[in-house]
């Protein structure tokens, strides 16, 4: 089988994991190749034993035509029983799926009664193709192993030692996002001040973006890694995570941490952190205090664990 999702964004890659879980459950003896993009793909799918060959396109595939053609030729040389175009409205995914030699093809785009959330659409399309659509959907899941979880807890404890001694629950935040979804330092400072005033003491850990620069003037202990699985293990160890809509938010939703996404530009019905216990909060008015009140209500109804 082949799954086509050639998109370099971390969140879009993580949202393929429910489809991989569904394929493993339905076809336990099958091998699944993936056409993807971006360096994170290999890390995200590392926990799936069914994964065979990864065909990875460069994020600027059109600027590297020879490399891209070589990848597509390798894909074209294989024969598949089933090819799934797992993206909605992706011309590159549609093209690649059409090039693959397959007995059957399933496309997410155009599937009747498709769910709103993008993580649910591929599984729904597969089930419709098989003549069924009911039943609970698999969650996002990186399938961290026990060793990764233990290392994540060890790393979190080391990071927390940079802050004041406390037994309070941990709150991991990622105060960054792309474009208009990104709030500035002042917004996050007001948000955290209002949130902590409502929920009480929390040991805040700032997850730092790829540029290595704190968005909160190093007011809290920070953690950076370029490895998505190491980052996910630290988030799971923290137990609670808050950020704007971004790829790291979806990564957090693929762990056991309670994940809350703050939405100002994108639609939470399509992109909210997927999974039971997670939530997407609309904060289109831009007020950090009102957003903090809504997040506090969610945190107070859950039970964040201390690390």
Nearest alpha-carbon partner for 238 in 251, 247, 246? 251
Nearest alpha-carbon partner for 210 in 231, 184, 195, 191? 231
Q: What angle do CA 267, 209, 233 make, to 5 degrees?
A: 85
Helix or strand (DSSP H, E) at 87: none
pTM, full prediction: 0.91
pLDDT at position 224, please?
96
**104/88 Cα distance (integer angstroms):** 18
Alpha-carbon distances, residue 264 vs 107, 178, 186 (angstroms): 30, 12, 16
**275/14 Cα distance (integer angstroms):** 13
pLDDT at position 207, please?
98
CB 248 within 8 A of CB 225: no
**303/294 Cα distance (integer angstroms):** 16
Determine if residue 143 is left, alpha or beta; phi over 0 gives left, psi from -120 to 50 gives alpha, anything else beta. Answer: left
pLDDT at position 102, please?
83
**Tokens of residue 40, six digits:** 């994170």
pLDDT at position 307, please?
47
**Tokens of residue 273, six digits:** 């952190």
**196/182 Cα distance (integer angstroms):** 21
Phi, psi of 180 (to 5 degrees): -70, -10
What angle in degrees, to the nearest 10, is found between the helix axes of 146-160 and 228-238?
Answer: 70
* Residue-by-residue pLDDT tens, the chain, 307 positions: 999 998 889 999 999 999 999 999 999 999 999 998 888 899 999 999 999 999 888 766 656 677 777 778 888 888 999 999 988 766 666 667 777 788 899 999 888 889 999 999 999 999 999 998 778 899 999 999 999 999 999 999 999 998 788 889 999 999 998 887 888 899 999 999 999 999 999 999 999 998 889 999 999 999 999 999 999 999 999 999 999 999 999 999 999 999 999 998 888 999 999 998 899 999 867 899 999 999 999 988 775 444 4
Q: Which residues contact 286 (CB under 8 A, 6 or more apart)?
A: 187, 264
**Tokens of residue 226, six digits:** 């370029």
Specify the 3-state DSSP secondary structure of 14: helix
Nearest alpha-carbon partner for 88 in 60, 55, 56, 110? 110
Q: Cβ atoms within 10 A of the Cβ of 24, count?
A: 17
Nearest alpha-carbon partner for 131 in 112, 116, 117? 112
What domains, with CATH codes, occur in the chain? Answer: 2-129 (3.40.50.2000), 146-301 (3.40.50.2000)
**Tokens of residue 34, six digits:** 């993936």
pLDDT at position 217, please?
92
Alpha-carbon distances, residue 37 vs 34, 48, 55, 70, 262 (angstroms): 10, 17, 8, 14, 26
């Amino acid at each position: 089988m082949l799954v086509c999702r050639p998109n370099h964004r971390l969140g879009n890659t993580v949202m393929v994991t429910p489809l991989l879980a569904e394929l493993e459950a339905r076809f336990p003896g099958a091998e699944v190749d993936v056409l993807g993009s971006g360096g994170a793909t290999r890390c995200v799918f590392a926990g799936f034993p069914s994964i065979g060959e990864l065909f990875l396109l460069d994020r600027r595939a059109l600027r590297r035509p020879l490399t891209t053609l070589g990848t597509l030729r390798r894909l074209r040389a294989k024969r598949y029983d089933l090819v799934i175009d797992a993206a909605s409205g992706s011309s590159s995914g549609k093209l690649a799926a059409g090039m693959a030699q397959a007995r059957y093809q399933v496309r997410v785009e155009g599937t009747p009664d498709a769910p709103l959330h993008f993580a649910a659409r591929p599984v729904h399309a597969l089930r419709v193709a098989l003549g069924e659509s009911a039943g609970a959907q698999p969650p996002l899941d990186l399938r961290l192993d026990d060793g990764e979880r233990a290392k994540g807890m060890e790393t979190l404890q080391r990071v927390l030692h940079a802050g004041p001694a406390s037994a309070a629950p941990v709150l991991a935040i990622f105060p960054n996002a792309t474009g208009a979804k990104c709030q500035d330092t002042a917004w996050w400072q007001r948000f955290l001040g209002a949130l902590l005033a409502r929920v009480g003491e929390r040991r805040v850990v700032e997850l730092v973006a790829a540029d290595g620069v704190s968005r909160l003037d190093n007011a809290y202990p920070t953690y950076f890694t370029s490895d998505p699985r190491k980052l996910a293990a630290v988030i799971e160890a923290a137990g609670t995570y808050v950020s704007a809509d971004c790829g790291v938010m979806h990564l957090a939703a693929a762990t056991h941490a309670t994940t809350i996404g703050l939405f100002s530009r994108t639609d939470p019905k399509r992109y909210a952190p997927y999974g039971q216990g997670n939530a997407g909060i609309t904060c289109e008015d831009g007020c950090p205090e009102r957003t903090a009140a809504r997040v506090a209500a969610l945190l107070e109804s859950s039970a964040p664990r201390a690390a």
